[in-house]
Chains A and B, each alone.
Chain A
Amino acid sequence: MTDYRKLWSDLGMDLEKHDRLTSALPLIYEEVYLQQPDRPQAMEYFDLVVAEIHSLRIAELVEHRRRGGKVCGAFCVFVPVEIIRAAGAVAVGLCGGSQFWVPDGERVLPRNLCPLIKASVGARLSGTCPYFQSCDLLIGETTCDGKKKAWEVLGEYAPVYVMDLPQMKRPRDLAAWRGEIELFLARIEELTGCRVTPERLAEEIRLQNRLRQALERLYHTRKADPVPISGKDALLVTQVSFYDDPRRFIDKTEALAAEAEARIASGQGVFPSGAPRILVTGTPMAIPNWKLHHIIETAGAAVVCEETCTGTRFFEHQVDETGRTLEEQLQALAERYLKINCSCFTPNPGRLEDIFRLVEAYQVDGVIYYNLQFCHGYAVEYYAVEKALKARGIPVIKVETDYSEEDTGQLRTRVEAFLEMLR
């Protein structure tokens, strides 16, 4: 038995405060997850991951570091994890999804800033996130102004490296992004002291492609009616993909997808067939942000797809595997990552195309546009998305919220009224 308290205090964590954080999670998880009827058996693994979110995986990270390995934390789906791993480091996702960290973030950041940024910074400042505490390097990017400036603040508390993401997708932007990836590779090599060889990189490219394909296979099962897995469960799987050991994650996700496929074959679903089908699009939902999905699904509709960074934006498009030289591989990486349609790009017609394609493929009845409060990129882009969806007769509403529970009643009314409109 590992003594986790010792392990946490060795990581320099605030144990008392951490106890308060971890005592709340099981209750929320019980209500939001464990009370769902007919969950696939294979969700057991993901339940375990959450139950042990600050222990099992952390012990693995500690062991990796004990043997001289490094850990890198990233906040965004643009960071090419293949390179981190090819240099022998472990990559973990670090998006703060809990209100618990917001007050600590607000000690150093303005109140009217997106809760994801405040919680991420707050998690580091409060010393209550063992992932943050395990990181040898934090990797930021310039995807929005809030983050861009927050890295400077965070940099006072931990080593931060920032990747400059272009904001357009012209050939010169692709070239610039490729240059960034080269710089990134050099920085990671410097951190780990290991050279990235084409062989190692090829292996990690294949591995990450398989991970994305596993998620894609799982998402594909959600196109069925009745839907074999709840949106909450699918969201959880994607959230876990940012933290977990990739090989284990692929195995478990494939097992889950296989079970979901078997359910489809036998006509078994978690919602009655004909239940309203919802696409959620917008800003990312980091663990344990399950608020909107919970409201939608307890109101009787199924979330069948997420066009978010904790959804399709994370796993669509594979990296071309034919590259033999580092040159070719870096180009392939640059091309794949620049296909992501984040609202930080201008113009961003690709996101509209993605939404239409997904509405079609997942037989969606209505779209809920999720916007974390004060995220301007996505908030402004709603204008175009709403106009385009309405022109095609696809119902859409926008829901703007943060991590607190204050507005749950109002959100419930909005979501339920939207569902009444669809029925």
Chain B
Amino acid sequence: MTVLGIDIGSRTIAIAILNDKGELLAGQVADSGPSPLERAREMAGNLSSFRRVVATGYGRHGARADFATDLITEIKAHALGASHLFPSCRTVLDIGGQDSKVIRLDEQGRVVDFIMNDRCAAGTGKFLEIMAQGLGLPLEEMVAAASASDGGVTLNSMCTVFAESEVVSLLAAGQPVGAVARAVLNSICDRAQNLLLRLGIEPPVVFTGGVAAIPGLPVYFARRMGLPDLLVPTRPQLVGALGAALYGIKVNKATG
């Protein structure tokens, strides 16, 4: 029988369906929309067809009260997912819609330490989205423009609201779009690196979450951070849901 992992984030919902052997049968990502729980149930489909439904993410408690059989935090889910995909993984960098975190694992893939960003949106996917709007570019093009530029511009504001007006005034002052885009990427990359350094970077580092799914961005980060072997899953947004489903399989095994 199959197991469903479901990651209910603040911006997106991801589901992963695994068979007993841990093979991914289906994976899907969608916007959370105005009522994430309802959306989650829709995406899950026929709940009775799963042996277990494990929820993670911001909405895990709601899902547990509603339809899920178990819950784990996104910290544990990302650790399980990342070390399943890359068994040697010792550090996870996860940048989601509204928070970012760094998780340290031991050789067995167990969480030994973690750190999360503070309450504000700086350094998260939300920050990137707002800056891209300010630049008038889709996310992908923003990364391409940044990569093609030689820089020369820095953002001074950490706060999302101030950074957006800084972007707008830099453009108004005639700075090239590419240079400003580069400043934006550097700003979020430096934040991520700060988190990594605070916990200590133990390679290999696996980069997960929605921000890692933006084409070109992981390469940009790896270069800027001097981490040439930054590992990125094919579908970084699915890692949390995958981890949740893997947890379900573990529990199944334990309960026979």
Enumerate chain A interface residues (CB-CB to B < 8 A). 400, 406-407, 409-410, 412-414, 416-417, 420-421
Closest to A407 in B: B119
With both chains docked as a complex, state the minimum distance between the C-beta of A370 and any C-beta of chain B, in angstroms: 16
Would B119 and A420 count as touching, CB distance under 8 A?
A: no
Would A417 and B75 count as touching, CB distance under 8 A?
A: yes
Q: Could you tell me the dominant secondary structure of chain A's interface residues?
A: helix
Would A416 and B99 count as touching, CB distance under 8 A?
A: no
Q: Complex Cα distance A417/B72, Å?
A: 8
Q: Complex Cα distance A414/B116, Å?
A: 8
Q: Complex Cα distance A414/B111, Å?
A: 13
Q: Complex Cα distance A416/B116, Å?
A: 13
Would B119 and A417 count as touching, CB distance under 8 A?
A: no
Contacts of B73 in A (CB 8 A): 413, 416-417, 420
Contacts of A407 in B (CB 8 A): 119
Q: Complex Cα distance A394/B175, Å?
A: 51
Q: Complex Cα distance A412/B75, Å?
A: 12
Contacts of A421 in B (CB 8 A): 110-114
Closest to A409 in B: B58
Would B116 and A413 count as touching, CB distance under 8 A?
A: yes
Q: Complex Cα distance A413/B116, Å?
A: 10
With both chains docked as a complex, state the minimum distance between the C-beta of A104 and any C-beta of chain B, in angstroms: 23
With both chains docked as a complex, state the minimum distance between the C-beta of A422 and any C-beta of chain B, in angstroms: 10
Q: Complex Cα distance A421/B115, Å?
A: 13
Q: Within B69-115, which residues are at the interface with A (CB < 8 Å)? A: 72-76, 99, 110-114
Contacts of A420 in B (CB 8 A): 72-73, 75-76, 111
Q: Within B92-150, which residues are at the interface with A (CB < 8 Å)? A: 99, 110-114, 116, 118-119
With both chains docked as a complex, state the minimum distance between the C-beta of B60 and any C-beta of chain A, in angstroms: 9
Interface hub of B72, B73, B76 (most chain A Cβ within 10 A)? B73
Contacts of A414 in B (CB 8 A): 116
Closest to B72 in A: A420
Contact of A410 among B110, B111, B116 (CB under 8 A): B116
Q: Complex Cα distance A21/B124, Å?
A: 37
Contacts of A412 in B (CB 8 A): 61
Q: Complex Cα distance A416/B58, Å?
A: 12
Would B75 and A410 count as touching, CB distance under 8 A?
A: no
Closest to A415 in B: B73
Known contacts A406-B119, A407-B119, A410-B119; A417/B58 CB under 8 A: no
- Number of B interface residues in the complex (CB < 8 A): 16
Closest to A417 in B: B75
Contacts of A400 in B (CB 8 A): 118
**Could you list some 13 contacts between A and B, CB below 8 A?**
A410-B99, A410-B116, A410-B119, A417-B73, A417-B75, A417-B76, A417-B111, A417-B114, A420-B73, A420-B75, A421-B110, A421-B112, A421-B114
Interface hub of A407, A410, A412 (most chain B Cβ within 10 A)? A410
Closest to B10 in A: A409
Q: Complex Cα distance A412/B116, Å?
A: 12
Closest to B116 in A: A414
**Sample of 8 further A-B pairs with CB below 8 A, known A417-B74, A417-B114:** A410-B116, A410-B119, A412-B61, A413-B73, A413-B74, A416-B73, A417-B75, A421-B112
Contacts of B58 in A (CB 8 A): 409, 413
List of 8 A-B pairs having minimum Cβ-Cβ separation, nearest first: A417-B75, A417-B73, A416-B73, A420-B76, A421-B111, A407-B119, A413-B73, A417-B114
Contacts of B116 in A (CB 8 A): 410, 413-414
Contacts of A413 in B (CB 8 A): 58, 73-75, 116
Q: Complex Cα distance A420/B54, Å?
A: 15
Contacts of B110 in A (CB 8 A): 421
Contacts of B112 in A (CB 8 A): 421
Q: Complex Cα distance A209/B72, Å?
A: 46
Q: Complex Cα distance A307/B72, Å?
A: 29
Q: Complex Cα distance A413/B61, Å?
A: 10
Closest to A400 in B: B118
Contacts of A417 in B (CB 8 A): 73-76, 111, 114
Q: Complex Cα distance A400/B116, Å?
A: 12
Q: Complex Cα distance A406/B113, Å?
A: 24
Contacts of A406 in B (CB 8 A): 119
Interface hub of A410, A412, A417 (most chain B Cβ within 10 A)? A417
With both chains docked as a complex, state the minimum distance between the C-beta of B143 and any C-beta of chain A, in angstroms: 28
Closest to B117 in A: A410
With both chains docked as a complex, state the minimum distance between the C-beta of B49 and any C-beta of chain A, in angstroms: 28
Q: Complex Cα distance A11/B76, Å?
A: 53
Q: Complex Cα distance A173/B74, Å?
A: 50
Q: Complex Cα distance A7/B72, Å?
A: 51
Closest to A419 in B: B73
With both chains docked as a complex, state the minimum distance between the C-beta of B118 and any C-beta of chain A, in angstroms: 8
Q: Within B37-64, which residues are at the interface with A (CB < 8 Å)? A: 58, 61
Q: Complex Cα distance A421/B58, Å?
A: 19
Q: Complex Cα distance A420/B113, Å?
A: 11
With both chains docked as a complex, state the minimum distance between the C-beta of B132 and any C-beta of chain A, in angstroms: 25
With both chains docked as a complex, state the minimum distance between the C-beta of A388 and any C-beta of chain B, in angstroms: 16
With both chains docked as a complex, state the minimum distance between the C-beta of A247 and any C-beta of chain B, in angstroms: 44
Contacts of B72 in A (CB 8 A): 420
Closest to A418 in B: B114
Q: Within B228-243, which residues are at the interface with A (CB < 8 Å)? A: none
Contacts of B118 in A (CB 8 A): 400
Q: Complex Cα distance A36/B143, Å?
A: 52
B186-230 contact mask (Cβ, 8 Å, vs A): 1 or 0 = 000000000000000000000000000000000000000000000
Closest to B114 in A: A417
Contacts of B75 in A (CB 8 A): 413, 417, 420
Q: Complex Cα distance A413/B76, Å?
A: 10
With both chains docked as a complex, state the minimum distance between the C-beta of A156 and any C-beta of chain B, in angstroms: 33
With both chains docked as a complex, state the minimum distance between the C-beta of B110 and any C-beta of chain A, in angstroms: 8
Q: Complex Cα distance A412/B72, Å?
A: 12
Q: Complex Cα distance A416/B76, Å?
A: 10
